[in-house]
Structure formats: C-alpha cells, structure tokens
C-alpha cells in the first residue's frame, strides 16, 4: 500500500450533488462507499468535510453580519455534514468517531490528538468536525493541520476535477493536467490547489497533497494502492 494513513478532504459544496442547497443522499452514499473501499484495504482514514453547501463565513459579511459569527456558523455547518457522513458510514458497516474542534459534547467527542490517533490505530474512521475550531480559517486549513498532527502520509483532496491543470479546465479547453508538481512550482505558477494558509502548512511540513476526482468510482482505492491518480504535489 502506498499510503497507509490518509486524510481525505471532501468539499461541502459537492455534497449538494444536483441540488441547490443541503445534502444529497446519493452523494453521501457514494462518499461512504469510497471510504469503505479504502478501509477494506487496511488504510487508516481520517476525513475533513467542508460546510460550503450550508454556510460560509464570507456570506455573513456580504449580508452585513459579523464575520467571526459567520465563521462559527460555517464551522457548525461542517458538523452537520460530518454527522451525515458518520451515519452514512455506519450504514455501510464502518466504525466511526466524530471529533469536533468546538465542544458539542452531545454529538461529538472533543478533538484530542492522542485519541484521534488511537481511533485510527483501531481501524475507526475519524471525522474531524468544526474545522480548526477557529474563525478566519477554512476546512482546507483544517485538513492540512489535522493531517500533520496525526502524522498522515498524505492529504487527499477529493474534487470534481481529476487534478491540477495549467488553467481552469472548466473554463479553458487547452488546459493540461500535471501528473506531478512541486510545492515551489505551484507558487511560481500561481495555481489554485488550496488556500495559501493550508498549502503553506503542507509545504513547510513536507506533507504531500494529491488532488483527484472523488466522483470517479474506485479512485480512492486505486490511489492508496499506488496507482497514478490525479496530481501529486510534493517537495
């Protein structure tokens, strides 16, 4: 196996599926099945899911609400998505624990690093809810931070495109996909992989990132077994 301990970042926005808002159960089931295939191979899986399908901090500012309040609302949105994913995983027979960066003791365990690592060793899928627990961050930053803390081998950013391109492939037909790229090149070329805070955290801690298409069935299992899927960012 190429990657034994992974941190999978899923966007909240893609949970909407074909809908305009909220959670599409088909997407949840699809994610749960992908994660199960990784667990069945013996991988230790941690997941961070965004909240963009429900609320983003910047939206609050746009309508004249307080930004920090908005960020906390966004963090709570990630907890809602995490709870939904937890249920979907349990339905396919996977043991999970949801650890939150904000204390919500009735539904989540508090985030305790050692506990997270113990859960992973026992084969439980660990979902990190509420991002970093701090405003002005994103769930990409939470993914990078938690991955480093739990000593994950890689951050796998599941998206709807199959890697990093020279330009946005949804807008520019001549865009070409990279198989490999260095952190430095991403900076130089101004490519958009993650927000800068999240990306820098990976770079400074030499944590590789793979950007891949999570909607293609079997991709996650292929990736952790070492097949070339998506784009690998490394030193």
Residues near ligand UDP (CB under 6 A)? 11-13, 50-52, 56-57, 70-71, 74-75, 77-78, 131-132, 134-135, 137-139, 141-142
What is the DSSP track for 128-168? EESTTSSTT--HHHHHHHHHHHTT-SEEEEEESSSS-BSS-
CA angle 126/128/130 to nearest 5° reads 160
Q: CB neighbours (10 Å) of residue 226? A: 10
Q: State the minimum distance, in angstroms, from the CB of residue 81 to ligand UDP.
A: 8
Rg of the Cα atoms in the chain: 17
Assess contact for 155 and 205: CB atoms under 8 A: no
Q: Is 189 annotated as a binding residue?
A: no
Q: State the minimum distance, in angstroms, from the CB of residue 62 to ligand UDP.
A: 12
> Measured from the CB atom, is 18 or 188 closer to ligand UDP?
18
Q: State the minimum distance, in angstroms, from the CB of residue 143 to ligand UDP.
A: 9
Q: Is 138 annotated as a binding residue?
A: yes
Q: Is 158 annotated as a binding residue?
A: no
- Find the residue with minimal CB distance to ligand UDP: 50
Burial class (CB in 10 A: 0-12, 13-18, 19+), 143: buried
Q: Is 25 annotated as a binding residue?
A: no
Q: State the minimum distance, in angstroms, from the CB of residue 29 to ligand UDP.
A: 19
> Measured from the CB atom, is 71 or 153 closer to ligand UDP?
71
Q: Is 159 annotated as a binding residue?
A: yes
Which residues does the annotation place in the binding site for ATP?
9-12, 52, 56, 159, 165, 168
Which residues does the annotation place in the binding site for UMP?
51, 71, 132-139
């Amino acid at each position: 196996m190429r990657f034994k301990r992974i941190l999978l970042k899923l966007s909240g926005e893609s949970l909407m599926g074909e809908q305009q808002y909220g959670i599409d159960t088909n997407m949840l089931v699809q994610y749960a099945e992908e994660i199960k295939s990784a667990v069945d191979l013996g991988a230790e899986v941690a997941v961070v899911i965004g909240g963009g399908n429900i609320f983003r901090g910047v939206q609050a500012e746009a309508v004249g609400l307080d930004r920090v309040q908005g960020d906390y609302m966004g963090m709570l949105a990630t907890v809602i998505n995490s709870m939904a994913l937890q249920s979907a995983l349990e339905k396919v027979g996977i043991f999970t624990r949801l650890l939150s960066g904000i204390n919500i003791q009735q539904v989540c365990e508090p985030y305790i690093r050692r506990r997270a690592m113990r859960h992973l060793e026992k084969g439980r899928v660990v979902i990190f809810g509420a991002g970093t627990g701090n405003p002005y961050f994103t769930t990409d930053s939470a993914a990078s931070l938690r991955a480093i803390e739990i000593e994950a081998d890689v951050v796998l950013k599941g998206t709807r495109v199959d890697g990093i391109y020279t330009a946005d492939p949804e807008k520019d037909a001549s865009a070409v996909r990279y198989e490999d790229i260095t952190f430095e090149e991403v900076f130089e070329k101004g490519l958009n992989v993650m927000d800068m805070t999240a990306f820098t955290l990976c770079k400074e801690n030499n944590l590789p990132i793979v950007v891949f298409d999570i909607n293609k069935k079997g991709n996650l299992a292929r990736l952790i077994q070492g097949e070339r899927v998506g784009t690998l960012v490394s030193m």
